[in-house]
Structure 1
Amino acid sequence: MHFMAHYLSEFHKPLSKMLVKTGLLICSNPKQIGHLLGSINKEVKNTLYVQFLSNLEDPLGNFCPNIYNSWSKFSPTIFTTYSQAATDSINLDIRVLLSGLKYEIAKIQTRKPIDLIIFDKPYSNCQIESFINTKLQNVAKEYNVLTLNSVECNDQEIEPYSTNDKKYNHCVLGGTFDRLHVAHKLLLSEAALRAAKKVTVGVTEEVMLDSKILNEFIEDCVKRMNAVKDFLYDICPELEYNIVPIQDPFGPAIVDPTMELIVVSKETVRGGEKINTIRKERNLGVLDIIPVELVDEPNSKPPEEAKISSSSLRMRLLGTVLKPIEVNNEIPKEPYVIGLTGGIASGKTGVTSHVKNLGAETINCDLIGHDCYKPGKPCYEELIREFGQQIIAENGEIDRKVLGSIVFKCKEDLEKLNKIVWPHIAIEVKNIIKNSSAKVIVIEAAVLLLAGWDNMCHEVWTTIVPRKEAVKRLLERNLTEEQANSRLNAQPNNQFYVQNANVVFCSLWNVEYTKEQVKKAWDLLMKRIPS
C-alpha cells in the first residue's frame, strides 16, 4: 500500500493535476464543512464521503457526546452538511456516513475505494498510519492524504429542528427520487438515522409521473430504485432496506402494521397526515411524522424552483447533449446540419428564429411542402388524383385546411399524403444544403424522424411541450378541441422525440428562457464542431 502524507501550511495546495475519483473527509468540526468543500472540489471528482469523528483515537459511534447527546441533534448537522454541499460542491456526490455515528463499529466501510483521505486538522504520521490501517475498510492500493487548515469555530450546541428523539424499528418514506440530489439524501438519511432495524422506501412508477415537469427526462424506475439502494447501503449498511415501486401516493405505508415512522419533506406533511387517516380507518397504528426542511437552491433563477428539486435539475438539461452524437461519415462535414423536429405547437418556429439570429441558415420544410402543393408543381396533380376535387380552393390552389381535415382523421390518408410529398421535400432540402456556404444549417421539420430525413443531419434537436399546452396553443390558432386532439393523436408522443434527439428544448415558459436554452445549445455546438 502506497502512503503519502501532505501537511499544508496554506488552506489549499493541489496534490496533482488529476482529480481523484473518491475522497473521505474525516471531520472533527461539522461547522467547518463549508470552509473545507471549496478546497476539496479541486481534489475530488466523483464521490466524497464524510465521517464525523472527534479524534482519530476516538471509537467510532462516539462523536462529541457532550454535544451530540440525542438523535435529534444529528439531524441539523447532517442538514447543514448537505446544504453546504448544494452551495459549494454541486458536482460532487457527497455522502454523510451514519454507521460511525449510530454504532460502535470497528471500521469505516464504503462501497467505493478511497483514493484520498482528508483531515480537517493536523495529526502525526503515526496517528494517520494507524487510523488508515485499523479503521478504514476500503482504501485504494494507491492513495493520498491531505490535511486542510482548521478554522476557529465555537463548539456551541447546535439547536435541533425536531425535538423527537425516539428510535423506530421500521421507518418509511416515498418519492420519485429522480437524479438523487441532496434533498433526497436528507430524507433518506433521516429515515436511516432514526431506524433501529428497517427502512422501506417507495419509489414512484411511471404511471404516476404524467404531472411532473419534463417527465420525459425522468429516469427509469429501476434505475431510481438502484440509486436509492446504493446510497442507503453506503451510508448505513447495518439496516434492512426494502426498496419498492409504488403506483399510488401511499404505497405500503397504508397496509404495513409494523411501520412506526414516516419521514416527509416540509411541503408533503399533509400527505403523511392523509396516510395516517387511512391507517386509522384500517385499524393500523398511527405513524409518527418527521418533516425534513427543504434545501434552498443556491443558483435558482425563474422559472426554476427556489428549493432544490428534481424538476429544476431536469430543466437544466434543456439545451445540453442528452444522447451521444454518432459520427455519420456518409454526410459531408460541412455544412454542419442539424435537424430540428418536434410535435405541433411545440415551439419549433421560435427555436428556429433563435438559431437564425445566432448565425445558422434555416430551412423550413413546411414552406417547401406548401410550395410543392402549388399548381404546376409535381405534387399538385398527384394530390388531386389521390384526394379528389374537394381539396381545390376557388383560386385553383389546394386548400390545405380541407386537406388537413381529411388526412388527420385517417391514418391511411395521412400516409398517402406523406408518400406523395416527402420525397419532393427531401430533394429540395438536399439541393439547398449542397449549394449553401453556411457553416451551420438547421432543417426545421415536424416529420424529420418519421420521414427519415435525420439521415441528412449530423445531429437532431427537438422541441417539446406538455400535451395540455399544445392543445391550448392550437385552440388559440382557431382549431376546435377535436381538431387539436386529432392532430396530436396523429403524431408521436414527446417520449419518442426525446428518445431520438441529441438536444431537447421546452418552450413551456417565457421566450427568454427558451432563448437561454438555445444559446446554451449553440455555445456547446460551437465547441464540438470543426472550426
Structure 2
Amino acid sequence: MSVFRSGLLVLTSPLSKLSLRLVPILTSAARLVQDTLYVHLQPGLSLTGSTQPRSTYVPATSEVYSLITKLYADAGIHHHLDVRVLLTNILNQGASPPALGSVQNLSQPPEVVLTDFETRDGGQSNPVKQRLERYATSCYSCRPNLISVLLYPEYELEPNDGELSPQQEASVTEEPLQSYSDVVVGGTFDRLHCGHKILLSVSCMLAENRLLVGVSDKDLLKNKTLMELILPFEQRVAQLNEFLVDIKPSLRYEIVPIFDYFGPSITDSELKCIVVSEETLKGGLAVNRKRVENNLPELALHTIKLAIDPQHAGYEEEKISSSSLRCRLLGTLLRSPRKEPSLPLYPYIIGLTGGSGSGKSSVAQHLVRLGAFHLDLDRLGHNIYMPGGPVYEQVVETFGTDILKEDGTINRQVLGAKVFGDQEQLKKLNNIMWPVMARMAKEKIDEAAAQGKAVCVLDGAMLLEAGWSEMVHEVWSIIIPEDEAIRRIVARDGLSEEAAQLRLQNQMSNSQRVKQSHVVLCTMWEPEVTYKMTEKAWALLQKRLKDK
C-alpha cells in the first residue's frame, strides 16, 4: 500500500466502543498517512445498503468531548502526523444547525479516505469503498482519484475489544455541553501540538458564534524555555488560523497578540467564557477579578486537564508542551547547510560559537572525543598577540606602548580597557586581527584535510561577528539563559553580576545567533544531557555526510 501525504479518517463505531479502539486505529492510519490526518466522527454511519449515506449532526456531549480529548492524547505518539478532528458536524446547544450538504474546503485536501467501518463480507468491499469515497467527497474537498481503505479488521481487535466494563459504562454520559456565544482562550501556541489542539477544540465546541484567541508575544516570551526557538508571531498565527478554519469554519475567529497576562479578556464585554488548563486556572481567576474591577460580569471558567506526554525525557515537562518540542529541536538541522563553491569538499567544516558562559568549550571537547579536528580560534587569537607574532607590531603601533608589560608582551587587560566600550577602537583592533586569523584558520583546515579528518570544528566566540561563517558548511550555536550565563561568569571569572551582565550585552544575543545557525545546542541541564545532545547532533551530522 502506498503512503499518502494527507488523509481523511471516517470513524463509524459507537463512541463508547471507539474509545477502546483508538490506539490500533490511529496506528494503522499512521502507516498510510505521513503528514495530515483529518478525523470525521460519524458514529452509526452505515456504508452498506442501497442508499448513499449522508452526514448527520452529532450532539456536543461530554462523551464526544472525552473522545476528542483521548483521540488527540493517543495521537501524540505519532510525531510525524498532524491530526485534526473536524467539528463541522459536532453541534453544541446554542448553535443553529447550518444546512447540510455543502462541501467543506480543507487546507490539505485528502488523498486517501480511511474508515473503521466493520464488514466481514469480502464481496461487499468494493461497494463499501465506493460509498465511502462518495461520502467523503460529499462532505469535504478531496484530491482527484481519491483512494479508499477499510482499516477493519487490519487493526486486529481482540475478542473483547469494544466491550466496556461496568465502571467504564457508568462513566460514559450523554450530558450536553454548556455552550456560550463568545469564548476566549490564550497561549503561546508555538508549534501546534496535541495539547494545543485539545485546548482549541474544546474552545470551538463551547463557542456558538465567536472564539477570541490571545497569542503571547514579546515580554511574555522572555521566561519561556528556549524562547529563541519560538516561531515568529506571524507564523504562529498562520498555523493557528489554518487549524481553526479547518476544524470549524462556521465560527468567527479573532486572533490577537497579547503582551500581558490579560489582553482583551478583561475589557471585552461580549465574552461569556474563558477556557483554561489546570495550570492556568489561577490566571482565569485573576481575569475575573480584573473584570469585576472594570464593572464587567465574570466569565464562566472551563478547565481542561493537561495531556501527559508518555515519551518525555527527564529534563522535559511531563505534559505535552511546546518547550519539550523545542528541546527536541536541539541538535537537529534547522536549515539547509551552505553549499558555496568556495567551501572545500573535504573536510566538512562546522563553525562552533556561543556567548560567554555558554558551555561552548565543553561541547568542543566532546566533539573532539567523537572524532572531530578542533581549531580553537580564540586561542589562535591569543597566540598571534605574542612578540614576533603576525599582528604584534601593528597592534603596538596602533594602540601605543602603554599596553605592554615589562617583559614586552601585550597586556590584554589594558588593551581590552582601551577597546571595549569604544566601537571605533574595537573596529580598529578587529580589522587587524580577523583577516590574519582567517588566513591561519584556512591553513589549519588544510592540515585537517592532510590528516584525513572528515570533520573540522572552527571554534570561535566571534565566529559570526567576524564573518568566519563564510568558511563553514554549518554554524552550530551554543545558547544558555542569560541569568545562568551570568551565574557561570561570576563563579568562573570572579566578576560582579553587573560586570558579567555588561560583558553579555557587548556580545551577540542568543536570538541573533540562532537566526544564523544551522544547529542549536543548549547546556542548561546536567553535563550528561549536554553530552547526549552533542552525540545526537554528531550522529545526525554523520548521517548527512553519508547521504551526501
Structures share a fold, TM > 0.5? yes
Q: What is the correspondence of 1:54-453 to structure 2 with a 5 Å cutoff?
A: 54-57=43-46, 60-63=55-58, 71-87=61-77, 89-102=78-91, 103=97, 105-106=100-101, 109-111=104-106, 112-123=108-119, 124=124, 125-134=126-135, 135-150=138-153, 151=157, 152-154=161-163, 157=169, 159=171, 165-436=177-448, 437=451, 438-453=453-468
In 2, the alpha carbon distance for the partners of 1:512 and 1:158 equals 47
In 1, the alpha carbon distance for the partners of 2:426 and 2:495 equals 18
In 1, the alpha carbon distance for the partners of 2:190 and 2:523 equals 22
1:22 is matched by which residue type in structure 2? Answer: S
Instruction: Give SS of 1:350's match.
Output: helix
Unaligned runs of 5+ in 2: 47-52, 92-96
Change (3 A) 1:137 1:274: same
Contact 2:129 2:150 in 1 (8 A): no
Structure 1 residue 429, shift from structure 2 partner: 1.2
Structure 1 residue 129, shift from structure 2 partner: 2.7
Contact 1:60 1:101 in 2 (8 A): no
* Seq. identity, %: 38
Structure 1 residue 416, shift from structure 2 partner: 1.8
1:333 is matched by which residue type in structure 2? Answer: L
Structure 1 residue 212, shift from structure 2 partner: 0.9
Moved more, 69-78 or 505-514: 69-78
In 2, the alpha carbon distance for the partners of 1:177 and 1:96 equals 18
Hey, what does 2:94 align to over in structure 1? none
Hey, what does 2:469 align to over in structure 1? 454
Note the alpha carbon deviations across 1:52-94, whole angstroms, 9 max, x for none: 112334753444xxxxx7633322111100010013x221000
Instruction: Give SS of 1:109's match.
Output: coil
In 2, the alpha carbon distance for the partners of 1:404 and 1:158 equals 75
Change (3 A) 1:389 1:254: same
Change (3 A) 1:162 1:360: farther
Task: Determine if the alignment matches structure 1 residue 25 to structure 2 residue 9.
Answer: yes
Moved more, 150-159 or 208-217: 150-159
Contact 2:184 2:274 in 1 (8 A): yes
Task: Determine if the alignment matches structure 1 residue 520 to structure 2 residue 516.
Answer: no
Moved more, 92-101 or 380-389: 380-389
Change (3 A) 1:399 1:116: same
Hey, what does 1:500 align to over in structure 2? 516
Change (3 A) 1:427 1:130: closer
Change (3 A) 1:385 1:132: same
In 2, the alpha carbon distance for the partners of 1:158 and 1:220 equals 46
Structure 1 residue 160, shift from structure 2 partner: 6.9
2:111 is matched by which residue type in structure 1? Answer: D
Task: Determine if the alignment matches structure 1 residue 489 to structure 2 residue 492.
Answer: no
Contact 1:198 1:240 in 2 (8 A): yes
Contact 2:132 2:148 in 1 (8 A): no
Contact 2:199 2:275 in 1 (8 A): yes
Hey, what does 1:510 align to over in structure 2? 526
Task: Determine if the alignment matches structure 1 residue 34 to structure 2 residue 46.
Answer: no
Change (3 A) 1:171 1:381: same
Contact 1:206 1:221 in 2 (8 A): no
Hey, what does 1:9 align to over in structure 2? none
Instruction: Give SS of 2:10's match.
Output: strand
Structure 1 residue 516, shift from structure 2 partner: 1.7
In 2, the alpha carbon distance for the partners of 1:481 and 1:393 equals 29
In 2, the alpha carbon distance for the partners of 1:20 and 1:430 equals 47
Instruction: Give SS of 1:99's match.
Output: coil
2:141 is matched by which residue type in structure 1? Answer: N
In 2, the alpha carbon distance for the partners of 1:384 and 1:261 equals 71
2:458 is matched by which residue type in structure 1? Answer: I
In 2, the alpha carbon distance for the partners of 1:485 and 1:386 equals 29
Structure 1 residue 163, shift from structure 2 partner: 7.7
Q: Which of the numbers 43, 46, 57 marks the counterpart of 2:32?
A: 43
1:25 is matched by which residue type in structure 2? Answer: L
Change (3 A) 1:178 1:282: same
Structure 1 residue 319, shift from structure 2 partner: 0.6
Change (3 A) 1:309 1:497: same
Change (3 A) 1:377 1:21: same
1:519 is matched by which residue type in structure 2? Answer: E
Instruction: Give SS of 1:41's match.
Output: helix
Hey, what does 2:50 align to over in structure 1? none
Structure 1 residue 157, shift from structure 2 partner: 4.0
Change (3 A) 1:367 1:283: same
2:163 is matched by which residue type in structure 1? Answer: N
- What do you get for the CA RMSD once the two structures are aligned? 2.1
Moved more, 408-417 or 262-271: 408-417
Normalising by structure 1, we get a TM-score of 0.91
Note the alpha carbon deviations across 1:129-183, whole angstroms, 9 max, x for none: 3353254331211122111225331255473799883110001000110000001
Normalising by structure 2, we get a TM-score of 0.88
Task: Determine if the alignment matches structure 1 residue 466 to structure 2 residue 445.
Answer: no
Structure 1 residue 244, shift from structure 2 partner: 1.2
Hey, what does 1:4 align to over in structure 2? none
Moved more, 318-327 or 156-165: 156-165
Contact 1:30 1:52 in 2 (8 A): no
Contact 1:22 1:45 in 2 (8 A): yes
Contact 2:338 2:472 in 1 (8 A): no
In 2, the alpha carbon distance for the partners of 1:440 and 1:385 equals 38
Moved more, 142-151 or 271-280: 142-151
In 2, the alpha carbon distance for the partners of 1:446 and 1:367 equals 11
Contact 1:51 1:97 in 2 (8 A): yes
In 1, the alpha carbon distance for the partners of 2:358 and 2:170 equals 50
